[in-house]
Amino acid sequence: MPPRRVLHDKFFKQAKADGYLARSAYKLAEINDRKRLLHKGSRALDLGCAPGAWLQVASEIVGPTGVVVGIDLKPVEHAIAPNVHTLVGDIYETPAESLLQHTGGHPFDAVLSDMAPNTTGHGDHFLSVRLCDRVLDLLESSAAAGAPLLKPGGSLAMKVFEGEAYPDLVKRTARLFTEAKGFKPKASRDVSREMYIVAFGWKG
């Protein structure tokens, strides 16, 4: 019998107590504590940002001198902070220029993605890898078009479900950055196959 999924664990309860919109807030908080993707004054792009927990954490880290831009198919219904701007859109269709409108055209210091496909239990891993490939495609195509989303030397953190295509995804990411490794935060459920690829030094 597979392990029972515990929905209301300590991170779920802590998120409610701390005012975060989802337990995933602690995943980004730990990633940043360990990896230092974001700093005061950073510009951050959150792909697949709804319901907004990562926007909340990123906003706190970058502070009032930084800016956080998020995009999702669903609207973010919670008001977060003045330095957070959200768009409703599809990352397969939205032009890079639309994502840069709140940064004065300046590229982001870090790109974040906690996106996941609608899970069915069949092919979830490959759908997840496809989303990550789309993130990398966006970074490459925007740079080639002269409107780069990520600055040279910038950072990336994106979620993927582990499986047979995972090593190739890490290798592709490592070719585009000077460093790319997998990291699993404590707030990820034990039964979850999710992993975060954290990369530094975007080569552009």
Model confidence over 45-71: pLDDT tens digits?
Answer: 999 999 999 999 999 999 999 999 999
Residue 2 lies in a domain: no
- 3 in a structural domain: no
Range of the domain at 76: 10-202
Q: Which position among 10, 16, 40, 159 bears the catalytic label?
A: 159
Task: Decide if 126 is inside a domain.
Answer: yes
Per-residue pLDDT band for 15 (boundaries 50, 70, 90) equals low
**Cis peptide bond prior to 3, omega within 30° of 0:** no
Cβ proximity of 54 and 24 under 8 Å: yes
- Residue 171 sits in a domain whose CATH number is 3.40.50.150
188 pLDDT tier (thresholds 50, 70, 90): confident
159 catalytic per annotation: yes
Q: How many domains in the chain? A: 1
In a domain, 1, yes or no: no
Q: Shortest CA distance to 89 belongs to which of 102, 99, 78, 101?
A: 99
Choice between 11 and 196, residue whose per-residue pLDDT is larger: 196
In a domain, 131, yes or no: yes
Whether residue 123 lies inside any domain: the answer is yes
| Inside any domain, residue 56 | yes
In a domain, 122, yes or no: yes
Mean pLDDT, residues 144-155 = 97
